[in-house]
Amino acid sequence: MSREFDEIFDFERSCEMREAGMSLAANNRPLWLERARDAACALARELRADSLDPIVNADMVQERLRDLYPEYDVEMLGPAAGSIFKESELWQATGVRTKSAQVRNHARDQHNWLYLGA
């Protein structure tokens, strides 16, 4: 039996499901998500201090976590990585995307984020 077309293609419901999934992922990895957000902010501030644009992406944060925490593995953050830049008052999407270098990400596009914090 086939589903109704409107049940399959529902943009509003799709957005709701995305938000629910991101929230679930973030709530399951609170320690590593907090560390990732802290690392992203610190990295952006360092870039700004070096007179560079404070633009950061998820790959950069994952690399920083590996530098800060020798025990870190990408599985520790897992799907919560999609919520690193969710704090909208600190980050603004640049509109530019780059390909992820992580093999497991299969060169998927990732957003680049401009740090708006102090």
Ramachandran sector of residue 48 (left: φ over 0; alpha: ψ -120 to 50; beta: rest): alpha
Q: What angle do CA 66, 76, 22 make, to 5 degrees?
A: 120
Provide, rounded to the nearest whole percent, the portion of the chain with pLDDT above 70: 93
Average pLDDT score over residue span 65-75: 94
- pLDDT at 6 (0 to 100): 67
Query: Which is nearest to 59 in space by CA: 42, 40, 41?
Result: 40
Task: State how far the Cα of 52 lies from the Cα of 90, in Å rounded to an integer.
Answer: 17
**pLDDT above 80 for 80:** yes
Q: Are 37 and 65 in contact (CB under 8 A)?
A: no
% the chain with pLDDT above 90: 61
The model's pLDDT over 10-31, given as tens digits with 9 standing for 90+, comes to 888 888 887 877 777 667 789 9
How is the chain split into domains, by residue range?
Answer: 5-115
